[in-house]
C-alpha cells in the first residue's frame, strides 16, 4: 500500500479503487499525484501553521456566537418558565372546569338512563297501540268496502226509481188518454 497526495492535498491509497477511478477522470499528463515521503510531510507543516490563525479566529467567532445565542436562550428559557407558571394556573382552572363538566356528564347520563327506561315503556304502549291501530285500519278498510258497495247499490236503486217514475208517468198518460176517450 502506497500513499499518494493529489494536487488538492487529499491523501489517497494508490491501490484503492476510488483513487484509480479518480485517475481515470484526469488525463495522464495532468496527474500530479506524488508519493508521500518525509519531504512532503515537512513541506505540509508550514501550511498548517499558516492555517492556525484563521482557524483560531473562526473558533473564537463561533464561541462568541454560541455565547450570545446561549444568553438569548437563557432569556427565552426564563420567559418560557414564566409562561409555564401561567400555564399551570390556567391548567388548574381547566381542571376544575373539567371536573364540573364530568359531574354534569354523569348527571346527564343518569337522565338519559331514565329517559331510556321511559322510552322502553312508551315503546311497549306504542306496540300495543300499533296492534289496535292495525285492527282498526282493517275494520276501516272493511267499512270502506261496505260503503262503496252501498253507494253502488244506492245508485242502482236511484236508477230503478227513475225508471219506475217514467213508467208511472207513461201509465198515467195512458190512463188519462183512456179516460178522455171514454
| Ramachandran angles phi, psi of 128, nearest 5° | -60, -45
What's residue 20's pLDDT?
64
DSSP 73-111: HHHHHHHHHHHHHHHHHHHHHHHHHHHHHHHHHHHHHHH
What's residue 152's pLDDT?
94
Which grid cell is 135? 285492527
Residue 112 domain-assigned (yes or no): yes
Residue 68 domain-assigned (yes or no): yes
Residue 181 domain-assigned (yes or no): no
Residue 61 domain-assigned (yes or no): yes
Handedness of CA 124, 128, 133, 135 (dihedral sign): positive
What's residue 153's pLDDT?
94
Contact 1, 13 (CB under 8 A): yes
What's residue 36's pLDDT?
47
0.95 surpassed by pTM: no
Q: For the chain of 182 residues, list the mean pLDDT of each consecutive stretch of 10.
A: 61 66 53 50 56 70 79 82 80 91 94 90 85 86 94 94 94 90 82
Contact 17, 52 (CB under 8 A): no
What's residue 34's pLDDT?
47
Condensed to tens digits (0 to 9), the pLDDT of residues 152-174 reads: 999 999 999 999 999 999 999 99
Residue 85 domain-assigned (yes or no): yes
In whole angstroms, what separates CA 13 from the centre of its chain? 59
What's residue 118's pLDDT?
86
Structurally, how many domains does the chain consist of?
1
Residue 62 domain-assigned (yes or no): yes
Q: Which domain holds residue 64?
A: 56-122
What's residue 30's pLDDT?
46
Amino acid at each position: 500500500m502506497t500513499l499518494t497526495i493529489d494536487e488538492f492535498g487529499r491523501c489517497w491509497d494508490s491501490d484503492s479503487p476510488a483513487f484509480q477511478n479518480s485517475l481515470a477522470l484526469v488525463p495522464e499528463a495532468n496527474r500530479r499525484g506524488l508519493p508521500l515521503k518525509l519531504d512532503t510531510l515537512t513541506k505540509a507543516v508550514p501550511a498548517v501553521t499558516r492555517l492556525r490563525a484563521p482557524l483560531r479566529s473562526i473558533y473564537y467567532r463561533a464561541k462568541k456566537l454560541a455565547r450570545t445565542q446561549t444568553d438569548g436562550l437563557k432569556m427565552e428559557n426564563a420567559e418560557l418558565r414564566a409562561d409555564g407558571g401561567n400555564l399551570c394556573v390556567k391548567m388548574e382552572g381547566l381542571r376544575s372546569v373539567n371536573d364540573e363538566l364530568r359531574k354534569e356528564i354523569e348527571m346527564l347520563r343518569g337522565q338519559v338512563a331514565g329517559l331510556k327506561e321511559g322510552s322502553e315503556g312508551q315503546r311497549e304502549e306504542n306496540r300495543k297501540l300499533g296492534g289496535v291501530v292495525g285492527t282498526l285500519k282493517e275494520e276501516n278498510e272493511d267499512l270502506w268496502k261496505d260503503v262503496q258497495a252501498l253507494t253502488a247499490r244506492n245508485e242502482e236503486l236511484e236508477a230503478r226509481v227513475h225508471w219506475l217514475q217514467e213508467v208511472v208517468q207513461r201509465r198515467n198518460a195512458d190512463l188519462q188518454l183512456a179516460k178522455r176517450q171514454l
